[in-house]
Structure 1
Amino acid sequence: MQSENSGFFCSIQVDSKNCVSNAVWVDARARMSYTYFGDAVYFDTTYSQNENMAPVAAFTGVNHHGDTVVFGCALILDRTESSYGWIFETWLAAMDRRLPFSFTTDEGKGMAAAVAKVFPQCFHRLCRWRILSRCKKKLTDVYTRFPGFHDELKRCINGCDTVPVFDMFWGSILDKYGLRDDTWLQSLYEIRHKWVPAYLTSSFFAELSLTHRVETVSRFHRNNFSARVSLSTFINRFEQHMDSLYANEAQKDIISFPLEQLLKTNTVLEKQAASIYTRSAFETFQAELIEALQHFAIKVQDGPYMKYCVERDGNPPTRHTILYSVAEEKAWCECCRFAFSAIPCRHVLRVFVLAGVIMIPEPCTTKRWTKKAKTGPELIGLNVGNESGSANDVASRYNDLVHDAMKCAEKGAVSAGAFRFAKEVLRKAFMEIKGLGEKLNTNDMHSAVANR
């Protein structure tokens, strides 16, 4: 495959017997997507739940439409700390050593240790959906006797946006169902700062919704890959699946909807959001705005940083404190939802409405969820350094050119006219580059003859 696609990256690790132990592969499209949406990465190891599935994991993220995007895959035959370390290091090298802001994985001491070594500057989170799924197996008797238990547990985890409210709700569930002495739930509570949203307020996770899980590649794995399917067959099927994901993203990029079909409040804030956000991001903003209009806000402190209290129906658990600076055009809410998802929360929006803020302040929007997410400078987080890469390095120049070519391909594929124009421009550019190369070769030959 690497010979067929020069933008394809693949690295294989072998053991002492020269047998494959692990592998990592990334294609040019995955690299391109990572430059835009690599701020939050999920290492999907769904295969470990089913012994009949071959051990193929995926590095995934979320694009500006709220859909899954794949950043690469790994074959894991040796599940040790050193193997995970090699996989993460190899993948990071394929991504020019650009770190995400957050890195989400399943539980596991070996994996956690590898993440700490390779991604020390990233916030490492455990996947709460995998933890909820495991709860069903660990608490089978409770689930059987109390059909409503799972929904209550999900509401507690996903619906509580501050630590005190979560702790209160969690405790009430333990008391209601007599689970104070359950060792499984005790172990989960001890690591709550690694997976409960109320505790994860210091990093970005690219989640538009806490209650709706983005479709991962796990369903594709279950339907297409078992231990009886060869790796080459799976990779071909996966490439087809990737094609469909990119086609879906391109289709959503060019689809537009009349504003009158989307608006529900007819406020300027909503109209502005509809004009800048993608459909999925706008719907999240819209839901927050509608909720904001159901909340009550009161200013409790004046000054450079005004303090507001916002709550709904006089219900104390819904009460939040917001600081708002007119000079900085910034607002901070104790729910910290903006840091988590980069969409203004209902409490901040309620303060904006009360304060007469007509347009969403620029500091309260991020390009990541907008229709222009894939234009201009990329978003991705931290560069941990690539000492071998430079303007004089062939590999670096090659990767840079592939990146630009992928941009041309994205824009040129949206219509037949754009396709024809892009093909002609690329053909002319190729002929000019080819001519330059032949001229340089001729000059080099003349120089060599003259120096004899």
Structure 2
Amino acid sequence: MVGIPLHKSYNSAVIEAGGYKNTTFVEKDCRNYIEQVRRLRLGEGDALAIQAYFSKMQTRCSGFYFSMDLDDDCRLKNVFWADNRCRQSYREFALNAIITDQDRAMQNVIQITLPNTKHRWCLWHIMKKLPEKFGYHIEKSSIFFAIHGPVYDVENVQEFERGWRSMLDMYDLHDNAWLSGLYENRGRWVPYFLKTTFWAGMSTTQRSESMNAFFDGYVHSKTSLKQFVEQYERVLRNKVEKEFQADFRSYSQMVPCTTTYEMEKQFQAVYTIEKFKEIQQEFIEKVYYDVVSENANDYYWSTYEVREDVVLHEHHKKKSFCVSFRRDTCELIFSCHLFEFRGIICRHAITILIRNDITSMPERYILRRWRRDVTRAHSRIAVHYDGLVNSPGQLRYDEMC
């Protein structure tokens, strides 16, 4: 299980016994035993393995997010229907959100088995198909640029609709079936339509494949589902070890603040190093923002227009964002939805808080999940799949965790 060849393990046992004459078995006996155990374990079936996997996962990862990048022949589609107990386990594993490619079979399975889960298509998968879909077109470079506009650079539905329609008109693409399908499912992949769902920091401009690095060196295209469950143990142990190291760095190191605002010091004191760097960038970028108007909605609420100076391809552009602020409770509503999408307070909100002489960041915008002192349940749960039956002691330990 730790990757040591059998003959080396056998030689170690021989040395420990004091020589071959003191051992009661030969190397062939070891090989036969391992093959027998392997056959028994594989014989239990992939569907039951997945059931055990998700049963464990729901205690460890409830409320987390799951990214799937699956080929058309992936066996997981069939496993969903292979066993009723497996389907039950998957339903109980209440995913908040899931990212896949545009596979129709996966979409149908998710709609049926996870009706309350937000399902999104990987934007990177879609955008990388542009050369394939329009490589023949004489104006392909211009089409690529025109599509990026309504996808990445819109702040409301009207902007998206105008940009998409303009792109179709300009290059006579109204009859393009691929684009028509994307438009019909725009709520599954266009960033604007996904901003109000939390995606655990998985940015739409970032390759979702980077999440798969979690399993690099542990699984490959020939890995069976049963083997995946076993390898998951090793991956988790490795992940926990890296998190312990990151925790140590967070407690022993401190990234200096870039501003004199007390709010930045608040995040510096409680957030992990990596998350504090993200927050810090919002404070740095605040310099490019100005409040251009203020309207009092009522006694409690005021709405501000915050304007950003953007440089795009050496051209300056102005973008406007709305922030509503309730002074008595320090509650904020922002049009960019960065807090809902990534769990990071945005520069627009910081600008408005400072304008209203708020020196301390409201606690509701300091999330527990990014704190350096948070206790992760998965680092305490024993990971052990001995077939599908655990010892009473192991079960008691899991339950206590």
TM-score, normalization by structure 1: 0.62
Mark the CA change 1:172 to 1:400 in structure 2 (over 3 Å): closer, same or farther.
farther
Amino acid at match of 1:164: Q
% identity of equivalent residues = 21
Residue 137 of structure 2 corresponds to residue 110 of structure 1:
no
What is aligned with 1:26?
53
- 342-351 or 185-194: bigger deviation: 342-351
Note the C-alpha offset of 1:235. 6.4
**SS of 1:308 mapped into structure 2:** strand
Deviation per residue, 1:241-278 (Å, 9 max, x gap)? 4443332222112213654x442223222221222222
1:224 positional shift: 5.3
C-alpha distance in 2 between matches for 1:401 and 1:111: 35
Name the CA shift for 1:157/1:293 in 2 (closer, same or farther; >3 Å).
Answer: same
C-alpha contact 2:58 2:93 (8 A) present in aligned 1: no
Q: Quote the Cα distance in structure 2 between the aligned partners of 1:23 and 1:395.
A: 17
Specify whether residues 300 and 181 from structure 1 end up closer, same or farther in structure 2 by C-alpha distance, changes over 3 A only: same
2:282 to 271, 284, 288: 288
Q: Is the 8 A contact 2:267 2:276 kept in 1?
A: yes
Aligned with residue 308 of structure 1, among 296, 301, 304: 304
Name whichever structure is richer in helix by fraction. 2
Letter in 1 for 2:61: Y
Q: C-alpha offsets along residues 307-326 of structure 1, whole Å, 9 cap, x if unaligned? A: 11111249886212221112
Distance 2:215 2:140 in 1: 32
> How far 1:351 moved relative to its partner?
1.1
Q: Is residue 217 from structure 1 mapped to residue 204 from structure 2 by the alignment?
A: no
The Cα of 1:365 is off from its aligned counterpart by 2.5
Q: Please name the residue that 1:133 is paired with.
A: 128
Q: Is the 8 A contact 2:55 2:89 kept in 1?
A: no
Equivalent position amino acid for 1:312 in 2: E
CA contact (8 A) 2:47 2:86 kept: no
In 1, Cα distance between equivalents of 2:268 and 2:101: 35
2:374 maps to what in 1?
373
Q: Which amino acid aligns with 1:369?
A: W
Larger relative contact order (C-alpha < 8 A, sep ≥ 6)?
Answer: 1
Residue type matched to 1:284 in 2? Answer: E
Report the TM-score, using the length of structure 2 for normalisation. Answer: 0.69
Q: Which amino acid aligns with 2:351?
A: R
- Matched with 1:77 is 75
Query: Could you tell me how far apart the structure 1 residues matched to 2:83 and 2:359 are?
Result: 48
Deviation of 1:282 after TM superposition, in Å, equals 2.0
Name the SS of the counterpart of 1:250 in structure 2.
helix
Shift in Å, 1:192 = 0.5
Corresponding residue of 2:18 = none
Paired with 1:399 and 1:133, the residues of 2 have a C-alpha distance of 46
Cα distance per residue 1:28-81 (max 9 Å; x no partner): 98556414xx33332332x44xxxxxx6xxxxxxxxxxxxxxxxxxxx53735x
**Aligned equivalent of 2:64:** 39
CA distance in 2, matches of 1:123, 1:88: 23
Say whether the 8 Å CA contact 2:308–2:318 is kept in structure 1: no
Aligned to 2:30: none
Deviations 1:167-196 (A, max 9, x none): 344445445655444221121011101221
State how far apart, in whole Å, the 2-side matches of 1:13 and 1:110 are: 26
Q: Is there any run of 5+ residues in structure 1 with no aligned partner, and where?
A: 2-9, 15-19, 49-54, 56-75, 377-393, 406-452
CA distance in 2, matches of 1:27, 1:12: 19
In structure 2, what is the equivalent of residue 332 of structure 1?
333
Match of 2:266 among 243, 247, 272: 272
Give me the whole-angstrom Cα distance separating, in 2, the residues matched to 1:238 and 1:181. Answer: 46
Shift of 1:361: 0.8
Aligned match of 1:435: none
Identify if the C-alpha distance between structure 1 residues 233 and 192 changes in structure 2 by more than 3 Å, giving closer, same or farther.
Answer: closer
- Measure how far apart 1:209 and its partner are: 3.7
- For 1:153 and 1:198, the matched residues in 2 are separated by 14
1:395 CA drift (Å) = 10
Structure 1 residues 254 and 42, CA, compared in 2 at 3 Å: closer, same or farther? same
Cα gap change, 1:300 to 1:13, in 2 (>3 Å): farther
Pairwise CA RMSD: 4.3
CA distance in 1 between counterparts of 2:80 and 2:294 reads 51
Structure 1 equivalent of residue 238 of structure 2: 244
Q: How much does 1:287 deviate?
A: 2.1
From the superposition, tell whether residues 176 and 353 of structure 1 become closer, same or farther in structure 2 (CA, over 3 Å).
farther
Do the aligned partners of residues 202 and 313 (structure 1) sit closer, same or farther apart at CA in structure 2, a change above 3 Å counting?
closer
